[in-house]
Structure 1
Amino acid sequence: MTPKFRLLYLSIIFLIPVFLFSQIKSNNDVIIKKIQKKAAEYKSEINFTKSQSFYKKKDWDSTLIYSMKQLSSNTNKEIADYCHFFRGIAFKEKDLYKESKKELLLISNQFDFFTSVQIHLGTISFQLSEFRTAIRYYEKALQSPLIKNQYYSFAKTQEGIGSSYIFLKEYNKAEDCLMKNLQINEKAKNKAGLYNAYNILANLYYVQGKNAKAIHYFEKAYLLSKDINENYIKNLAAFNMAVFEENRSNFKQALGYRKEAEQWNDSLNNQNKIWAVADFEKKFAVAQKQKQIKVLEVENELKNNQRNWLFFSAMSLLALLTAGIYLYAQKVKNAKIILLQKNKLDELNTTKDQLFSIVSHDLRSSVNALKTSNTKLSATLESKNYEELNQLIIQNSGIANGAYSLLDNLLHWAMLQTKQLYFHKESVHLYSIVQQMEYNYKPLLLDKSIEFENLVSKNSFIFVDLDSLKIILRNLLDNAIKFSNENGKISFTTATTKNSFWDLVIKDTGIGMTQNTINELLNDSELLSKKNNSEIIGTGLGFQLCKQMIQKNNGILAIESEINKGTTITLSFPKTAQNG
């Protein structure tokens, strides 16, 4: 790829989704109000009501589940259009563009927000590099008689068409559309829209070798970025100027811009770190407050025991023999209670120390790996080795995801131990949940070329808490992927039993484990465990969390495994009433 097109990809590919999506979302209030009215009109359709509620809350997983339930039993075309719209937006927000496009294409042209659907389809096609298709959808949106009164839709549709023409190298058509976009944003005095318009026009001229026009718009974008309170925009504006000056051999000016870009990038990273630390401190403060409450409860209990002892001592003056026997019995009983409490406290403290030690070690390892990788990343960025840069970014993402998964399991485990986790059981469509897990883990499955089979019965409904079920399946699927070799296979199947249970069988062709390891995992007293593989080590916290949540849902867990022959995990959950 030439230097010109490198700059073009950096400036356009990252900006178009951000600004186009943000502008379309500004119309979301109108859509939400209309959806709420429609839900009130069809209030007897429970699944439709739930799906619109979760759509409003941006809970995309639940939106997908309840919209699918509605579609499976729906005969109303208007409700079906809304459900496909919910699913299309939910998939798009999860970056599953092909699935999003399939859902949006099922919407009829009588839908209330059909123009918005066309703009979404144009944006999704642009993300998939289907530029001709993107232009076709944008032009359909422009045919709406109302779109010229909708600034954000009209401007960004012109911008989307112009950007698509740039990648198709039809520069005259691109310039015409992008100039219209610029005029609209100038009239509306929208700084974010103007910045984007300047930046894309600069790239249009730059890729054609029209450097005088290109630098004019790059400089306007750079100056305007000073008035926009977004660090990543300031970083990109300075970076574009640096690349442009480097290509003109103005290395002194380029160095100044590159230093500024790095400063804004550092500010952005520091801001993210501050948010992460603040969140951690908040959780730590909550934990400390819980400890203080426990201490006060123990002190109150001791004071109550002291009052009782004084009362029985007074009674002993009136009835020496009876009171003496009673006090002796109480003393023995209290001693047993205190001893049990001490043993339990010692056990909890040991578990806590062991957990903190291992979690701290794992977090330290992740942070150290991230630091090392970031050092390589900086060196690679300077050498402009974009292939290695991409590999390092993927590596950083994997490290961050691993640390996040560890902290997420730790949080849920702590909440479960302190009885703060709320369980609400309801009827859950098991096939939909497994299908959602497949969507969520598709990138990891593709990365290791693992075949995934969802053979769960579409008639399987179980009576469990939805959130805890997701945590259970997420941890088990994550382990199956982690301990599977490349080109392996993972399958989810179901079987019904005579005792009103559904059996969910999770089978992989991974490295397997010994019977000793299985016994260790199933032992409630064992918090931590390791696989017999020097390169794959886990805290076992996620599996212990799964066991406790399975018990909370009245479920049953069984494990079968052999070394190098894979692992089979069977989960049994109660059926709902409709399954008999």
Structure 2
Amino acid sequence: MNTKEPDFLKTKHFFLSKNWDSVLIYSSKALLIKPDTSLLPYYHYMRGYSFMKKKLFSETQKEYQHISPNAPFYYKVILNLGGIALEQRQFKKAISYFNEINSLPDSLALYYDKSTVIHDMGIAYFHLSDFEKAKNFLMQSTKLQQEKKDTIRLIGSYMDLANVYYEQYQDNLAIPYFEKAYQLAQKVSDFEVKRKAALNMSVVEENRKNTVKALAYRKEYEKWKDSLFNQQKIWSVAQIEKKLAVTQKQKQIDLLAAENKLKANQRNNLLLSSSLLLLLLLTSTYFYFQKSKNHQIITKQKEELDLLNQTKDKLFSVVSHDLRSSVDLMKKNHVKTLQEAEAYNNIRLNKVIHTNIAVATSTYNLLENLLNWATLQTEQLYFYMESVDLYSIMQQIEFNYTPLFQSKNITFCNTVPRATFIFADIDSLKIIIRNLLDNAIKFTNEKGKISVYTELKEGFVTLMIEDNGIGMNEKIIGELLKETPLLTKKRNQQEIGTGLGFQLCKSLVEKNKATLSIKSSEGYGTTILLKFLTSS
């Protein structure tokens, strides 16, 4: 094998540096000029692996078709194809690849993590609802991971074993594994692992009806979630600072280049005195057009600044009015609380306190929407699309919103089925659902009903949030769905809103590559339809 070919060395260098785009560029260049045939399998493997890292799985499979089973690293090809099949939820296909790996000689097991292969087989059988095989493979993987003292993978295997038992309603067998995973998670520094372990324990304690412990684990989950966010934010800031430093350096280089060019022109002017007048004329013309161009840029920037100021003024005007109304209502309710406490009227006092909670929650949601909207406008919102279990998300949100439903005696019906997977960013998805539920609660009368359910059709999952509140006419629906950079103000009886939450929802729905539509009529309630790509 001739490893001295320049393009091969460059491709290999960028492959080891995990610069996938450069791998594809140099390997394409090499394949065009027909390299040494002994290098072809290596080129195709590096290209296929790069496509896999870029989530272009069909391209990966095409590249791997060019690699002979006799290649010394062919087991890596099988491993990657199994991982792709698992990612694409082609579980039977994934199992066939993993079985092929397990049939290889033990001598090759030194070059890959056998516990990971066995664990992935367990996951595939779990999704196929073959729980007995799933349990057996996951048990084998935990033993191997215990021997290797691979704590991170062991925590994941414990969680997956617990989920196998949970799916069979064997809570007494599932809970010890959740507890083991949580105890091990305390010993690692991976915030994501800590976050998942705390969330699982919160759900366990909720099912046990132990609200105090459930809330404690929920707080711990939020703490690790914030730590993970801060860690990602620090990395993001570091990347921005790095880009800024490179940009500043490039500006200095450009400035020096411009100065050198000007000096060269001056020397040429001295040598070419006969063309001095023409050169002066050209220079004057250049500066004139440059000045005109700069003037146009300044004018455009001024217009953009004026538009931003209008948005800012509108935002502060609407939000300050809404906050003033919420705080004033809270103040009045506190006076009522004092009066009812003095009169010892427990029933009325309880109602006033529930109202205070609802007002405070509404004010908090407004401030949270304001922060999320500002973060989205300045392009600082961390966004990552992945496979999300909609059932789990709705369970969390239902738990958090129970006090709000109780404050208006609203019946909440959540029929989202288990294992409903969609392709979305989990944090922005929660923001969307919370805002739509806030609106449903706000415009649903006392003792009303709010239902949440899904519909699966042609590769899409449609999440429907339905209420039997006051509804709206076609004109209001058109105003809500209209594309506009500014906020609008709406009124309904005693409820006053900024429209910020719905505006934020529309922006986040678009970023999630989803669609939002409304079905409603006055007096008959409203249904919001969110259509997401399924990840199953």
| Distance of 2:334 and 2:171 partners within structure 1 | 53
**Is the partner of 2:471 in helix, strand or coil?**
coil
The aligned residue for residue 472 of structure 2 is: 513
**Is the partner of 1:423 in helix, strand or coil?**
coil
Equivalent residue letter for 1:103: R
| Distance of 2:409 and 2:347 partners within structure 1 | 21
Does structure 1 residue 46 correspond to structure 2 residue 156? yes
- Alignment map for 1:351-390 (pairs within 5 Å): 351-390=311-350
| Distance of 1:306 and 1:337 partners within structure 2 | 20
Give CA deviations for 1:235-278 in whole Å, capped at 9, x if unaligned. xxxxxxxxxxxxxxxxxxxxxxxxxxxxxxxxxxxxxxxxxxxx
Give CA deviations for 1:266-314 in whole Å, capped at 9, x if unaligned. xxxxxxxxxxxxxxxxxxxxxxxxxxx9xx99xx9xx999999999988
| Distance of 1:401 and 1:532 partners within structure 2 | 19
Does structure 1 residue 81 correspond to structure 2 residue 176? yes
| Distance of 2:478 and 2:257 partners within structure 1 | 46
Contact 1:90 1:100 in 2 (8 A): no
| Distance of 2:156 and 2:169 partners within structure 1 | 11
Equivalent residue letter for 1:484: T
Equivalent residue letter for 1:508: D
Give CA deviations for 1:525-577 in whole Å, capped at 9, x if unaligned. 2533344523222101111111121122222222222222222222122222x
Shift of 1:324: 4.4
Does structure 1 residue 103 correspond to structure 2 residue 198? no
Equivalent residue letter for 1:46: G
Shift of 1:395: 2.4
In 2 relative to 1, CA 532–102 (structure 1 residues): closer, same or farther, beyond 3 Å? Answer: closer
| Distance of 2:260 and 2:444 partners within structure 1 | 66
Shift of 1:80: 3.9
Shift of 1:502: 2.2
Shift of 1:49: 5.6
Shift of 1:339: 2.3
| Distance of 2:157 and 2:286 partners within structure 1 | 61
Give CA deviations for 1:294-349 in whole Å, capped at 9, x if unaligned. xx99xx9xx99999999998888753454445444433433333222212211111
- TM-score norm. by structure 1 comes to 0.49
- Over aligned residues, Cα RMSD in angstroms? 4.4
In 2 relative to 1, CA 575–514 (structure 1 residues): closer, same or farther, beyond 3 Å? Answer: same
Contact 2:455 2:462 in 1 (8 A): yes
The aligned residue for residue 71 of structure 1 is: 166
| Distance of 2:331 and 2:170 partners within structure 1 | 55
**Is the partner of 1:493 in helix, strand or coil?**
strand
Give CA deviations for 1:142-172 in whole Å, capped at 9, x if unaligned. xxxxxxxxxxxxxxxxxxxxxxxxxxxxxxx
The aligned residue for residue 413 of structure 1 is: 373
Does structure 1 residue 554 correspond to structure 2 residue 516? no
- Alignment map for 1:114-153 (pairs within 5 Å): none
Shift of 1:405: 1.0
**Is the partner of 2:291 in helix, strand or coil?**
helix
- TM-score norm. by structure 2 comes to 0.52
| Distance of 2:201 and 2:348 partners within structure 1 | 28
Does structure 1 residue 536 correspond to structure 2 residue 536? no
Equivalent residue letter for 1:372: K
| Distance of 1:497 and 1:331 partners within structure 2 | 58
- The equivalent position to 1:480 in structure 2, one of 433, 440, 443, is 440
Q: Which runs of 5+ in 1 are unaligned?
A: 1-36, 52-66, 105-119, 125-292
Shift of 1:474: 0.6
In 2 relative to 1, CA 531–383 (structure 1 residues): closer, same or farther, beyond 3 Å? Answer: same
Give CA deviations for 1:47-66 in whole Å, capped at 9, x if unaligned. 75699xxxxxxxxxxxxxxx
Shift of 1:427: 1.3
Give CA deviations for 1:111-153 in whole Å, capped at 9, x if unaligned. xxxxxxxxx69x89xxxxxxxxxxxxxxxxxxxxxxxxxxxxx
| Distance of 1:312 and 1:516 partners within structure 2 | 62
Size of the aligned set, in residue pairs, is 334
**Is the partner of 1:339 in helix, strand or coil?**
helix
In 2 relative to 1, CA 489–78 (structure 1 residues): closer, same or farther, beyond 3 Å? Answer: closer
Give CA deviations for 1:493-525 in whole Å, capped at 9, x if unaligned. 323343x43222222222122223222222332
Greater than 6 Å deviation, 4+ residue runs? 73-77, 84-94, 303-317
Shift of 1:355: 1.0
Contact 1:528 1:540 in 2 (8 A): yes
- Alignment map for 1:257-268 (pairs within 5 Å): none
Contact 1:504 1:570 in 2 (8 A): yes
Shift of 1:40: 5.5
Contact 1:315 1:323 in 2 (8 A): no
Contact 1:503 1:572 in 2 (8 A): yes
Contact 2:515 2:531 in 1 (8 A): yes
The aligned residue for residue 421 of structure 2 is: 461
Contact 1:316 1:324 in 2 (8 A): no
In 2 relative to 1, CA 308–327 (structure 1 residues): closer, same or farther, beyond 3 Å? Answer: farther
- Alignment map for 1:10-29 (pairs within 5 Å): none
| Distance of 1:50 and 1:353 partners within structure 2 | 51
Contact 1:520 1:526 in 2 (8 A): no
| Distance of 2:256 and 2:345 partners within structure 1 | 76
Contact 1:493 1:505 in 2 (8 A): yes
Contact 1:510 1:564 in 2 (8 A): yes
| Distance of 2:365 and 2:380 partners within structure 1 | 20
In 2 relative to 1, CA 73–386 (structure 1 residues): closer, same or farther, beyond 3 Å? Answer: closer
- Alignment map for 1:263-342 (pairs within 5 Å): 318=269, 319-342=279-302
Equivalent residue letter for 1:566: G
Contact 2:322 2:496 in 1 (8 A): no
Equivalent residue letter for 1:439: F
The aligned residue for residue 67 of structure 2 is: none
| Distance of 1:329 and 1:562 partners within structure 2 | 58
In 2 relative to 1, CA 308–449 (structure 1 residues): closer, same or farther, beyond 3 Å? Answer: farther
| Distance of 2:305 and 2:158 partners within structure 1 | 49
Equivalent residue letter for 2:481: L
Which segment drifts farther, 509-518 or 542-551?
Answer: 509-518
**Is the partner of 2:492 in helix, strand or coil?**
coil
**Is the partner of 2:496 in helix, strand or coil?**
coil
Contact 1:48 1:79 in 2 (8 A): no
Contact 1:316 1:322 in 2 (8 A): no
Contact 2:369 2:501 in 1 (8 A): yes
Shift of 1:444: 2.4
Shift of 1:42: 7.8
